[in-house]
Amino acid sequence: MPDIRRLLDQNRLWAEETHRKDPGFFENLSRQQSPRYLWIGCSDSRVPANEITGLRPGEVFVHRNIANVVVHTDLNCLSVLQYAVDVLQVRHVIVCGHYGCGGVKAALERKNVGLADNWLRHVEDVHLKHAQWIDAIEDAEARAERLCEVNAVEQALNVCQTTVVRDAWLRGQELSVHAWAYGLKDGLICDLGIRVSSAAESASAYQRSLGKMGAPAFTPLSP
Ligand code: CO
């Protein structure tokens, strides 16, 4: 199994190299982690949180699933969020979607991919909520890219509406929620203009961000 052995060989080299550059690195990290960021991103192998943001081990807490979806009853995602906010006291929660997302495309095209259809139904819901203006985009690729952006914004809003984040804001904890979209073609992250630091800001930030994308002012707002 040379394909698997390669990973272990590379790991040994990486550990040696990291130790050589910073002899205390692993020793220090093994005692504690104090990341400032929680990353909620897509499972896509082309969007590795640490690598594209230049962050080292210990600097970002990560949750990934297909199409970076935040569902209010997803105990997995909520547990990661709760631990990151309450215990690790991260300062920023970043929902990062990406252009060319296969999950978003499948949801947009109502493609059957198997069990994951049930998961992607959440992205279909996002599409349905905004279908009127998203479907008016003529170019199919542009339409899918827009849904990638809108999905990231909607999922960031879902983060804002969790009990975890609401309670953190209520007790005055410093915490910002962001929505980004990563470009597979150029490796660049686009800030979608959501930077919410309190419950009061979330509706206006949401509306402003979608407005810049071309959503009509009457786009229904979540409370
Ligand atoms: Co994806």
Report pLDDT digits (tens) over 68-124: 999 999 999 999 999 999 999 999 999 999 999 999 999 999 999 999 999 999 999
Alpha-carbon torsion, ordered 79, 48, 161, 210, to 10 deg: -170
What pLDDT, on a 0 to 100 scale, did the predictor assign at position 136? 96
What pLDDT, on a 0 to 100 scale, did the predictor assign at position 110? 95
- Domain spanning 35-213, CATH architecture: 3-Layer(aba) Sandwich (3.40)
pLDDT at 38 over 80: yes
Tell me if residue 188 falls in helix, strand or coil: coil
**What band does 222 get if pLDDT is binned at 50, 70 and 90?**
low
The predicted-structure confidence for 190-200, as pLDDT tens digits, reads as follows 999 999 999 99
What pLDDT, on a 0 to 100 scale, did the predictor assign at position 218? 62
Tell me if residue 145 falls in helix, strand or coil: helix
pLDDT at 162 over 70: yes
Distance 47 CA to ligand 1 centre (A): 8
Distance 153 CA to ligand 1 centre (A): 15
Active site residues: 42, 44, 46, 98, 101
Q: What is the pTM of this model?
A: 0.95
- Annotated domain spans of the chain: 1-31, 35-213
What pLDDT, on a 0 to 100 scale, did the predictor assign at position 219? 59
Distance 73 CA to ligand 1 centre (A): 21
Distance 145 CA to ligand 1 centre (A): 11
What pLDDT, on a 0 to 100 scale, did the predictor assign at position 217? 78
Task: Let me know: does 219 contact 130? Beta carbons within 8 Å.
Answer: yes
Q: What count of Cα atoms within 13 Å lies in the side-chain half-sphere of residue 96? A: 29
